[in-house]
Amino acid sequence: MSKALEVSGLTVVYGQIAAVREVSFTVEAGEIATIIGANGAGKTTILNALCGLRDVRAGTVTLGGDDITHLPPHERVRHGLSQVPEGRRLFGRMSVAENLEIGAYARSDHAAFRADLDHVLELFPRLKERYRQLAGTLSGGEQQMVAMGRAMMARPRMLLLDEPTMGLAPQIVDLVLDAVRRVNREGVTVLLVEQNAYGALEIADRAFVLESGEITLSGHGLDLINHERVRAPIWDMTHDHRGPGPDPVAPSPADPSPARGAGRLSRGDARTGRRGHRHHRARAAGAARADRDRGVLGLGRSADAAGLRQPRDRRPRRHRRVEGVLRERDRP
Ligand SMILES: Nc1ncnc2c1ncn2[C@@H]1O[C@H](COP(=O)(O)OP(=O)(O)O)[C@@H](O)[C@H]1O
Ligand SMILES: [Mg+2]
């Protein structure tokens, strides 16, 4: 087997604190690998570093033999790396169809678009039934399928999944894990990050236990299920410290509507029309969020964000449409 992903000495810091310390692991092509760990262990930080959404302090990331440690996120998508982010981050006010379409933006071979769409709908038949429905009105499990389908539209060689079973009922968890298996059988290498250790270990060829930013144990998934460190709860899986998961029918957190109406002046000066610091903070946070989504979707940074002005936007119409959605959603 060849190495799909090789991570060596990965260290990621937030300010002075190293959230991930000298983490090394390998995923072979065609495998399902999992990183399990408690809330705050550093799972999302690792995935974001792999996608280029977090700077790496030290270490290297090699994908299919190519060093991608310092590539921008959208180039990594072109290299065949796709992420299903934590919390799904769908566009709740767009239809299932449109959400899937967005996943194909990084691709240049638009002729194959239709074939890939059919393929994704075959993989997740439920999405065919829900094709024209707004993503925000789907159940949590269905939303997860849309998020996976969207990632598959980029035709990844490797799929990264950040806690896809979070907040889902046990039967739905099984459906989602089953979908992960099906994607893997299509020849896509999977790196699954989970707090729900047992479900992940059951389907994983290779597993790593992450504790406080360090890998403390590794082995075959089924072997680790019976390992005393995993059995004796190294973390309490019955309590999710973030409280209950998302309401299955609530609009997804990426619903492009939050903070609408907040275009009003926030603690600004009503007479001069100057906007207050809260407005500017919200705007900066919105811009950061939109940039993250562009990275995940392989769109690259917007010309605005890069400090450039394009005299005329020559990108395909579908690119421009999603830019519009991101701008609308993140308008303070
Ligand atoms: N943007 C951030 N700024 C500062 N600290 C962060 C940030 N994101 C995460 N952390 C911290 O890094 C550690 C790992 O977080 P994270 O990777 O989200 O863990 P997990 O995904 O395993 O729950 C935690 O202690 C968390 O508080
Ligand atoms: Mg996380």
Instruction: Give the CATH number for residue 51.
Output: 3.40.50.300
Same domain as 267, residue 214? no
Whether the CB of 62 sits within 6 Å of ligand 1: no
Phi, psi (degrees; rounded to nearest 5) at 197:
-65, -45
Which helix or strand (DSSP H or E) is residue 292 part of? helix 277-297
User: What's the confidence (pLDDT) of residue 309?
Assistant: 40
Statement to judge: residues 71 and 182 lie in one domain: yes
Q: Which run of H or of E encompasses 123?
A: helix 113-123
**Residue whose CA lies nearest to ligand 1 atom number 1:** 14
Q: Which domain holds residue 222?
A: 3-86+155-231
What is residue 226's predicted lDDT score, i.e. its pLDDT? 79
Render pLDDT for 93-145 as a digit per residue (tens, 0 to 9): 888 998 988 877 666 666 788 888 888 998 888 899 999 999 999 999 899 99
Number of domains in the chain: 2
pLDDT at 314: 56
Same domain? For 8 and 82 the reply is yes
- Confidence (pLDDT) at 182: 92
Flag residues of the chain having pLDDT under 70.
1, 105-110, 231-332
Mutation choice for ligand 1 from 11, 12, 13, 14, CB with most ligand atoms inside 8 A:
14
Residue 31 placed within a domain:
yes
Phi-psi domain of 162 (left: phi exceeds 0; alpha: psi -120 through 50; beta: other):
beta
Q: Is the Cβ–Cβ distance between 46 and 35 less than 8 Å?
A: yes
How far apart, in whole angstroms, are the C-alpha atoms of residue 81 and residue 74? 9
Does 195 sit in the ligand 1 pocket, CB within 6 Å?
no
Nearest atom within ligand 1 for CA of residue 213: 14
Residue 122 lies in a domain: no
Beta strands in the chain (DSSP E): 3-14, 17-28, 32-36, 58-63, 66-67, 81-84, 158-162, 189-194, 206-211, 214-219
303 inside domain: yes
Residues in the chain, overall count: 332
Nearest ligand 1 atom to the CA of 162 is 21
| Predicted pLDDT of residue 87 | 84
Beta-sheet pairing, 3-14 with 206-211: unpaired
Spacing, Cα 43 to ligand 2 middle (Å): 5
